[in-house]
Structure 1
Amino acid sequence: MKKTFKLTHPKIKYARLVDTVRRDVKRYLKRERSKELPEGFDIWDFDCKFGPSAEAAEVISVAEIGTAINTAEERQLESFYIEILARASHRTGKA
């Protein structure tokens, strides 16, 4: 998913647009995690970027997506860019 979300609409309130973005991201992650893994891999990992535009996007983890959306909401941004790319990976043991 590489997408710029617009948070302005003449009839839909800002908070509802932000909720829609959260739902879309959550649905995308669930859909990607349910796909069958290639042989030899045991988990889906995600490479994520977030920012006000594609050029200014910074690398974040999947766990930080919600916080990044909250920050964009607090700043009342009119749009932001999010990139989530799934890749097959191996589990790492706890240290």
Structure 2
Amino acid sequence: MKKTFKLNVENKHPDRQIEAIKHEIRKYIKREKNKPRPEGVDFWKFNCKFGKNEEEPKVIDFIDITKNIDEASNEKCETLYMEILSVAGIREPKVVSDETTETNEEDN
């Protein structure tokens, strides 16, 4: 999803517009997460970029999407740019350290 959202729309309260933008983003993320994953892929990971008004978009963390939208609305920006791209994510296997196994053996 690469989209520029207007924050000031005629006949719509700004708070309702912000909620509509957040809803559209959540709907897109849910749709992407439900897509079938290729073989060997554990989950969908999201690369996100965010920009206020006409500034260059900056890379942000996935969990900071709503925080950045709220900041843009508080600063009375006219528009905001949101880019969310899903990529394949592979979980790293957990590595058990030697210290934890030695501690468990001493307890027995």
Q: TM-score, normalised by structure 1?
A: 0.92
Q: How far apart are the structure 2 equivalents of 1:92 and 1:25?
A: 28
| Alignment size in residue pairs | 95
**Higher normalized contact order (CA 8 Å, seq sep 6+, divided by chain length):** 1
Q: CA deviation at 1:92?
A: 3.2
Q: CA deviation at 1:88?
A: 1.0
Structure 1 outlier segments of 4+, above 2 Å: 92-95
Task: Among all aligned residue pairs of Structure 1 and Structure 2, give the percentage whose two residues are the same amino acid.
Answer: 39
Q: How far apart are the structure 1 equivalents of 2:50 and 2:59?
A: 7
Check the 8 A contact 2:53/2:77 in 1, yes or no: no
Q: How far apart are the structure 2 equivalents of 1:50 and 1:4?
A: 10
Structure with higher Rg: it is 2
Q: Which residue number in structure 2 is paired with residue 86 of structure 1?
A: 86
- Residues 84 and 54 from structure 1, CA distance in 2 versus in 1: closer, same or farther, beyond 3 angstroms? farther
Gaps spanning 5+ residues in structure 1: where?
A: none
Partner letter of residue 8 of structure 1? N
Q: CA deviation at 1:39?
A: 0.5
Q: How far apart are the structure 1 equivalents of 2:76 and 2:27?
A: 24
Gaps spanning 5+ residues in structure 2: where?
A: 96-108
Q: How far apart are the structure 2 equivalents of 1:80 and 1:73?
A: 9
Q: How far apart are the structure 2 equivalents of 1:54 and 1:10?
A: 21
Q: How far apart are the structure 1 equivalents of 2:15 and 2:22?
A: 11
If each structure's helix is expressed as a fraction of its own residues, which one has the higher value? Answer: 2
Q: TM-score, normalised by structure 2?
A: 0.81
